[in-house]
Amino acid sequence: MASDTDTQVVVVGAGQAGLSVSYYLKRLGLDPGNDFVVLDRGPGTGGAWQFRWEALRIGSAHRINDLPGLDALGLSFDTADRQQPAKKVVAEYYAAYEEHYGFKVVRPASVKSVENSGLDLLVRFEDGVGEQNVTTRLIVNATGTWGAPFIPWYPGLNTFRGEHLHTNEYRDAEDFRGRSVIVVGGGTSAIGFLLELENVAGELTWVSRRPVEFREDGELNLEARQSAVAAQDEAARAGRALPSIVSGTGVPRTRRIQSAIDRGLLHPKPMFASIEPDGVRWADGTFQRADAIIWSTGFRPELRHLAPLRLREKEGGVVVGQGASWRDPRVFFAGYGPQASTIGANRAGRTIARQVVAALSSR
């Protein structure tokens, strides 16, 4: 594996996917900080979880699966205090995990570009000092989606005089005390916002771009889940933009959600047709005044830094199969498409790490 590069592998991102790959790279004999380097944009540990809103508790978040080898620390999210903020618990567990396995994560390190450097790659990133460069043979992109929020365009979007904000900008329900709020989206984040804002906002309206399917409490719809993951995998292999997982799996009908349905909170309206300076208007002419629109409309994979490698297809995505780029064998994707869930990221970590080591051995 001899090389003239600064390191053999650069892992971009220290969230669930990046740490999972790092664990298996170490298990396969690579030395953290030397053979592979982990760069993370966040100021602290926890990946995207460190930026979540304070009111999101472990008990109300999507199930957080344990990192591989977390049990060696005597920790598990299954036994964590369900009343604690998810951002706090995940940050603490990830910090302990990074220290235990000695990953030496470089942060804050915001990767600006990945470029060709002969047969190898040049990674440009900014840290607290300035711009830095590191050369590597391979890269594992584990940036996730939190940094690439998606807001769909509607007529009049830019004329709205109120506040537009996306899921990744939401901090506290008190910010909307007494205000007229419209929540857009059909997933669990949108529902979580509605539950928090119910007795805080002056007016509260829920709209969804598609009908919301509430699945029965306690029943994991494996068939729908597998179908949704398969659709993501098919899109990733074809280089198309990735479809929504939530649209294929539905929303669990917990007791809390059923109670909100019964009292009339969780009855979404169809999507409005346009946005006006003071609110939104439906196709039938109905108008709703609004001070704020919360867009809980999902994210896109964060891939801008890979633009110099020209991996995107005309269909809008990148072609990825089993975690590897089909356009550039030096680039691997962790937490992309069907791996985006926490359990998917864990499973992919082992597969990608093996492929990385095989690729290093073949050069």
Q: Which residues lie across from 337 on neighbouring strands?
A: none
pLDDT digits (tens, 9 = 90+) for 268-322: 999 999 999 999 999 999 999 999 999 999 888 888 999 999 998 776 678 887 7
Q: What angle do CA 272, 246, 344 make, to 5 degrees?
A: 150
Q: Are 137 and 10 within 8 A, CB to CB? A: no
Same fold, 7-147+299-362 and 157-213+250-295: yes
Sign (positive or negative) of CA dihedral 91, 54, 76, 333: negative
For the chain, domain boundaries: 7-147+299-362, 157-213+250-295
Determine which helix (DSSP H) or strand (DSSP E) holds 349, and give its type and residue range: helix 342-362
Q: Which residues contact 223 (CB under 8 A, 6 or more apart)?
A: none
- Note if the pTM is more than 0.85: no
pLDDT digits (tens, 9 = 90+) for 144-183: 887 778 899 999 999 999 999 999 899 899 999 999 999 9
Q: What is the pLDDT of residue 362?
A: 81
130: left (phi over 0), alpha (psi -120 to 50) or beta: left
Find, among 37, 13, 39, 41, the residue nearest to 25 by Cα. 37
Q: Are 250 and 214 within 8 A, CB to CB? A: yes
CATH topology of domain 7-147+299-362: FAD/NAD(P)-binding domain (3.50.50)
CATH of domain 157-213+250-295: 3.50.50.60
> Which residue shows structure tokens 């050369």?
135
